[in-house]
Amino acid sequence: MKAAIMGYGTIGSGVAETLRVNHDVIAKRVGEPIELKKVLDLREFKGDPIEPLIVHDYKDIVNDPEIRIVVETMGGVEPAYTFVKAMLEAGKNVTTSNKALVADKGAELIRIAREHDVNFMFEASVGGGIPIIRCIESCLTGDVIEYIAGIVNGTTNYMMTDMAEKGADFDAVLKEAQAKGFAEKDPTADIEGYDATRKIAILTSLVAGQQVDYNDIPTEGITHISVADMKYARKIGRKIKLLATSREVGNTYSCRVAPFLVAPESPLYNVDGVFNAVFLHGNILGDGMFYGSGAGKLPTASAVVGDIVRMAKHLNKNIPIEWGEEKLELADPGLDRYRFFVRTTDDQSAIDTAFTEEVEYIDADIVPGEVGFITPEMEQREFDESVKKLPGTVSTIRLA
């Protein structure tokens, strides 16, 4: 059984390493060894053991009939999309770790795979080593998934944990995360929540069976979270986590990516550092949570190689995935209901006027001249109207 890797970066080299280190156990599970035959990369890798396998033109893989399984670990939509499409059309099975590609083109690539009796798999695109895609697509198929809340971005979870534990401010923590390799040089996609948005779009597409456009998902990053917010969180016994959420509403879902104040009763409360976790609620299952290393070379490679083994066992047999190309119209996020934490320099009479129902004041002198309070549960749009009447508002964070 011959395989190829497109993109020999961190993940791609992790996949090659896994195929080497676990060669025998993988061969036993598949029924024959999996041999890496070609590696597509722009670089030469002179002197590296991988050098003899390097090719620079993806057509060298497309046109190699021996290669039945292709791993895409390049990242980005193009040229990954062109390459993956060509591989599927050539009758090759493809697995990818590329959430941008899956969020954008997942439904189409699933259809092309089905039309060619091969498989397009993407376990590594969400939650790194956590097998959340398979759990949704192949295990929890007796359930209607009513709620998903995921900590699906390791960079921001590391930063939130660090801010909470050290009392350091956002910029200092970001610099340290970059120095340690936990944040990229350009951290925008992580800290603005764009990465998490693509991941919850993928999960929601799978549970709904239709295409979710991530551009429709209200997204708020963590850049505005301050040391004072962290102090308030600790005071009320909660932790601030960037959550990617999806909730069933009628025949559709309402999605959101934003920082939330997570209660200690939630299993997500203890998910710290670079770990990821996806909490979900099924109408039959009840609560479940899947926890693990959400990123990094080897955890992600673990998911990719799990796909390789599954595809090797189903070489010419498409395993149907319910994710059609029809667009899912998401529910109005203004109708989402939350309790909200608010910090403001407005006085109590202004607050009482802004909110018809009584709010709960936090008894803590964290920032001189401001108060912190928590609203009763209310609709997002109603909250937005109320908070407009408080010009002194410093920050607002939803509770979860």
Q: 307 to each of 69, 126, 127, 248, 300, how far by Cα in Å?
A: 10, 13, 14, 28, 11
For a second copy, the closer CB: 215 or 251:
251
Query: Candidates 137-145, 155-163, 326-334, 369-377 — which segment interacts with a second copy by CB under 8 A?
Result: 137-145
Q: Which of residues 185-224 bind a second copy (CB under 8 A)?
A: 209
**Between 163 and 295, CB nearer to a second copy:** 295
How far is it, in rounded angstroms, from Cα 359 to Cα 357? Answer: 6
> Is 291 annotated as ligand-binding?
no
* Contact flag: residue 161 with a second copy (CB under 8 A): no
Q: Rounded CA gap, 152 and 217, in Å?
A: 15
CA 275 from chain centre, in angstroms, equals 12
- If one asks whether residue 154 binds a second copy (CB under 8 A), the answer comes out as no
Ranges within 24-83 binding a second copy (CB under 8 A): 25-26, 28-29, 31
Shortest CA distance to 98 belongs to which of 58, 128, 138, 65? Answer: 128
Which residues lie below 8 Å from residue 11, measured CB to CB, with a gap of 6+? 73, 97, 124, 297, 300, 301, 304
317 makes contact with a second copy (CB under 8 A): yes
Give buried/exposed letters for 203-220 (b at 16+ CB in 10 A, else e): bbbbbbebbbebeebbbb
**What residue has token string 């156990």?**
25
Among residues 141, 188, 348, 353, which is the contact residue for a second copy, using CB under 8 A? 141
Of the residues 288, 366, 379, 382, which one makes contact with a second copy according to CB under 8 A? 288
- The helix (run of H) or strand (run of E) holding residue 332 is none
Question: Residue 79, preceding bond cis, omega within 30 degrees?
Answer: yes
Each residue 230-269 as x (binds a second copy by CB under 8 A) or -, in order, gives -------------------------------------x-x
If one asks whether residue 291 binds a second copy (CB under 8 A), the answer comes out as: yes
The reply, when asked if residue 9 is annotated as ligand binding, is yes
Alpha-carbon distance of 189 to 155, in angstroms, equals: 10
Distance CA 92, CA 85 (A): 10
Which residues are part of the catalytic machinery? Answer: 199
Q: Cβ 317 to a second copy, closest distance in Å? A: 7
By CB under 8 A, name the one of 77, 298, 315, 399 that touches a second copy: 298
List of residues contacting a second copy (CB under 8 A): 18, 21-22, 25-26, 28-29, 31, 123, 129-131, 134-135, 138-144, 209, 267, 269-270, 275, 282-293, 296, 298-299, 301-306, 308-310, 313, 317, 319-320, 322
User: Annotated binding site for NADPH: which residue ranges?
Assistant: 99
- Binding-site residues for NADP(+) sit at 6-13
List residues forming the annotated binding site for L-homoserine. 184
